[in-house]
Amino acid sequence: MNEHARTGIVEAIGTAVLVIGGPGTAIFATGAYNEGLSVGILGVSLAFGLSLLCMAYLIGRITGCHINPAVTLGMILTGKLDAAKSAPYFVGQVLGGIAGAAIIFLALTGTDGYLDIAQDGGFASNGYGEHSPGGFDLLSVAILEIVISTIFVLIVLGTTDSSGVPNGFGPIAAGLGLTLVHLISIPVSNTSVNPARSIATAVFQGDWALGQVWAFIVFPLVGALLAGAIWLVVGPTREAA
């Protein structure tokens, strides 16, 4: 198989699993139709982290398991990925995320009223103002999303460095890092740090989410730019892929 096609397919699979695991848990296990069995913020945060951890072990040796445009941008900026090879990553991530959200959507259509409840509840989309879980305004969301995206991308850059964590332990650090940033920010913005994840749920929310998704494309990418700049200063190595 062509290398670019393989990369796109693998990144799409990984991102689809992340969306099914993270937003899927938020929708199926915390929805208004399932309040008595809600896993809460901790459960959703762990679902995101475990999804990344499992995918990192599954596809990490194939593509590095970015499954996030912000991570791919950070890799490009720090010389860990050749920009000429990046298009399949971005395309695969966005399409895979949408595919994952489509699976959730289709599963909900088989129930009586559950799809409407999920869409009215936001379909696990990211938002600010009246669509922030805690009512946080755009400035608050911008600050937090940029900061947590910087933190998360730095964790990934550090754990994928050849002189970083011991071999095989990187996915654990990345998965726990994703869990951490969700614990911090779910009440603020429903946590993005990943434009592909944000686009995916916004597509199927059906109302306001597409009007606010720009923020959750821009802020994580700004965080990735900051993380890349920081790593170029403090990181021990630069690795060209």
Q: Give the CA distances from residue 82 to residues 9, 72, 240, in Å, rounded to whole numbers and listed in that order.
A: 18, 10, 7
Q: What's the number of CA atoms in the CB half-sphere (13 Å) around residue 233?
A: 5
134, containing H or E segment: none
Rounded to whole angstroms, the Cα distance separating 127 from 194 reads 13
Q: Find the largest Cα–Cα distance for the chain.
A: 55
Rounded to whole angstroms, the Cα distance separating 108 from 50 reads 23
Q: In the chain, what are the domain boundaries?
A: 3-234
User: What is residue 180's predicted lDDT score, i.e. its pLDDT?
Assistant: 98
- pTM of the complete model beyond 0.85: yes
Rounded to whole angstroms, the Cα distance separating 25 from 201 reads 13
CATH, range 3-234 = 1.20.1080.10
Tens digits of residue pLDDT in 110-120: 888 899 999 99
Beta strands in 106-200 (DSSP E): none
Tens digits of residue pLDDT in 105-141: 999 998 888 999 999 999 999 999 999 999 999 999 9
Contacts of 211 (CB under 8 A, 6+ apart): none
DSSP characters over 21-62: HHHHHHHHTTSGGGGGG--HHHHHHHHHHHHHHHHHHHHHHH
Structural tokens at position 229: 């700049």
